[in-house]
Amino acid sequence: MSEMQPGQAAAGSEAEISIAVIVEDGEWPGEDHLIALAERAVRVALEVASPELDDESEVSILFTDDEAIRELNAQWREKDKATNVLSFPQAAGPLLGDIVLASQTVAREAAAEGKTLDDHITHLIVHGFLHLLGYDHEDEGEAEEMEGLERQALGLIGIADPYAVPPQDHE
């Protein structure tokens, strides 16, 4: 497990956030690389969402495999299948919550959507982190707001709109 050095939570904010990165299982890039992706994703999510945080907030990001996330998804969401990312917000205190990513699903989606693995991991961390901040996509209005923040955050670091419909090849 590695912990990122605390950094400013948001522009003008005095709050700091620590990120614990745990690589449990699955085929992932190196731990230092994942820490850099996590730091960048959380930084831009904080920049666009501008939440009010405790002075020393924390988040943990677990990188695991499809089997582990399938078990979590079944236990906590009653969906017995693998998914790309899960978020577990905490009700109070400095721990914002946990984000879990599944290696096989993330890699398969990135390849199918023609995205780099780094860009897809970054997007999913932004997505998961926004859930920890209270954003959701249960109805159309919530989904539009959350997706808008994701697009804005990713755009700040040069990642293409993850929700854009790819152009169709014309022959």
Domain boundaries, the chain: 2-156
CA distance 15 to 53: 6
Q: Which helix (H) or strand (E) holds 125?
A: helix 117-132
* pLDDT (0 to 100) of residue 136: 82
Specify the pTM.
0.86
What SS3 state is found at 34?
helix
CA angle 63, 147, 130 (to 5 degrees): 45
* pLDDT (0 to 100) of residue 15: 56
CA distance 100 to 85: 6
* pLDDT (0 to 100) of residue 5: 37
> What is the pLDDT tens value at each position of the chain, 171 positions in all?
444 333 334 443 445 789 999 999 989 999 999 999 999 999 999 999 877 776 788 999 999 999 999 999 999 998 999 999 999 999 777 889 999 999 999 999 999 999 999 999 999 999 999 999 988 887 788 888 899 999 999 999 999 998 886 655 555
131 is in an annotated binding site: yes
170 is in an annotated binding site: no
Q: What is the pLDDT of residues 68-105, one digit of tens each?
A: 999 999 999 989 999 999 999 997 778 899 999 999 99
Residue 145, token pair as written in the block: 């707001």
* pLDDT (0 to 100) of residue 26: 87
123 is in an annotated binding site: no
Residue 28, token pair as written in the block: 């992932």
Q: What CATH homologous superfamily does 2-156 map to? A: Metalloproteases ("zincins"), catalytic domain (3.40.390.30)
Strand duo 2-3 + 7-8: pairing: unpaired
Tokens 């999510």 sit on residue: 45
Tokens 């945080």 sit on residue: 53
